[in-house]
């Protein structure tokens, strides 16, 4: 590593901007993994037309309408329906049989972004006959993303990929059963949202809100530093019923977590963990 020396000016500016966002708006990015934050803030600075991060900070402090635009850069998530089909196949074939033994179920998609993963799970639960006894919670800190998730409208040019992923996940129906296409967009059926609660929730600052049987949080915690990852994983641990399931992204793991002993590998290669019985 570089010798500790005087901090670069831009690093100071970034630290101050994150403090400002927290104190003014209670959005806390201070424990995000800095390499990505830095990249995203540089993009935001350039595309929003500021010469320095400090100038961006001044604007966002005094003009609340700048906040959602900045959050768009800081919280952007790119996903697909049934991203990593083998993950959904493992949920379908190995997790669903366990969940089927409960009379009622709660599923939490933490960091749901524009809703691709939420709809994937609802469709999968419908195909497996568990939708009617399940309540889904879809949470995110970004209001714009939540609105998009609740709308369930995606560009038609993404549907081919979604359809192929769905098929490879062992889908028992045709994805086209669930949307209507018009004007270049696919609009997903509102019946898929009947059993979904959309809510503003932060893994950084908010608490447990229900007892879950399955939590899916994929490629969200990669943006956190390790202490913050541990906070989120602790929150999942507290939220899960005994023997409940936690699904992470393909390259995430609990190896480095203080809570790793509370979980067992359930499907190791798909990063699906089970909360220990004790």
User: Does residue 49 sit in helix, strand or coil?
Assistant: coil
Nearer to another protein, 113 or 274 (CB): 113
Positive or negative CA dihedral for 163, 174, 176, 219?
negative
Residues at the site binding another protein, with contacts judged by CB under 8 A: 1-2, 33-36, 38-40, 76-79, 219, 221-223, 225-226, 229, 249-253, 255-256
CB of 97 vs another protein, minimal distance in Å: 26
Q: 26 or 226, CB closer to another protein? A: 226
CA–CA separation, 255 and 270 (whole Å):
14
What minimum distance in Å lies between the beta carbon of 155 and another protein?
A: 14
DSSP track, 193-247: GTTEEEEE--TTT----S-EEEEE--SSGGGB-HHHHHHHHHHHHHHEEEEEEEE
Cβ distance to another protein smaller for residue 39 or 172? 39
Task: Tell me how far apart the alpha carbons of residues 23 and 133 are, in angstroms, rounded to a whole number.
Answer: 41
Please state the closest distance from residue 270 (CB atom) to another protein, in A: 12
If you compute the radius of gyration of the chain from its CA atoms, what whole number of angstroms results?
20
Give the residue with the Cβ less far from another protein, 36 or 205. 36
Give me the least distance between CB of 129 and another protein, in Å please: 29
Residue 197 tokens, joined: 């609660």
Distance CA 141, CA 146 (A): 8
Closer residue to another protein in complex, CB, 201/271: 271
Shortest gap between Cβ of 142 and another protein (angstroms)? 15
């Amino acid at each position: 590593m570089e010798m500790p020396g005087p901090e670069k000016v831009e690093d100071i500016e970034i630290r101050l901007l994150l403090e400002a966002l927290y104190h003014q708006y209670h959005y806390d990015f201070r424990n995000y993994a800095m390499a990505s934050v830095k990249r995203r803030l540089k993009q935001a600075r350039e595309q929003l037309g500021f010469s320095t991060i400090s100038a961006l900070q001044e604007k966002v402090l005094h003009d609340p309408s700048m906040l959602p635009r900045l959050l768009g850069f800081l919280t952007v998530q790119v996903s697909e329906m049934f991203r990593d089909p083998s993950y959904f196949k493992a949920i379908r074939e190995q997790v669903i049989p366990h969940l089927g033994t409960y009379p009622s179920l709660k599923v939490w998609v933490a960091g749901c972004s524009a809703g691709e993963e939420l709809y994937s799970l609802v469709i999968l639960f419908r195909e497996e006959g568990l939708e009617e006894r399940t309540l889904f919670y879809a949470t995110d800190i970004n209001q714009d993303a939540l609105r998009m998730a609740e709308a369930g409208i995606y560009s038609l040019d993404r549907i081919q990929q979604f359809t192929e992923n769905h098929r490879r996940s062992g889908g028992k129906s045709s994805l086209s059963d669930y949307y209507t296409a018009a004007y270049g967009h696919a609009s997903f059926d509102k019946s898929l949202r009947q059993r979904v609660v959309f809510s503003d929730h932060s893994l950084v600052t908010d608490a447990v809100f229900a007892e879950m049987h399955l939590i899916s949080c994929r490629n969200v915690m990669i943006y956190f530093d390790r202490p913050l990852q541990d906070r989120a994983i602790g929150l999942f641990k507290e939220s899960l019923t005994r023997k409940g399931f936690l699904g992470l992204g393909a390259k995430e793991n609990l190896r480095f977590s203080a809570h790793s002993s509370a979980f067992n590998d359930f499907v190791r290669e798909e990063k699906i963990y089970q909360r220990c019985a004790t």
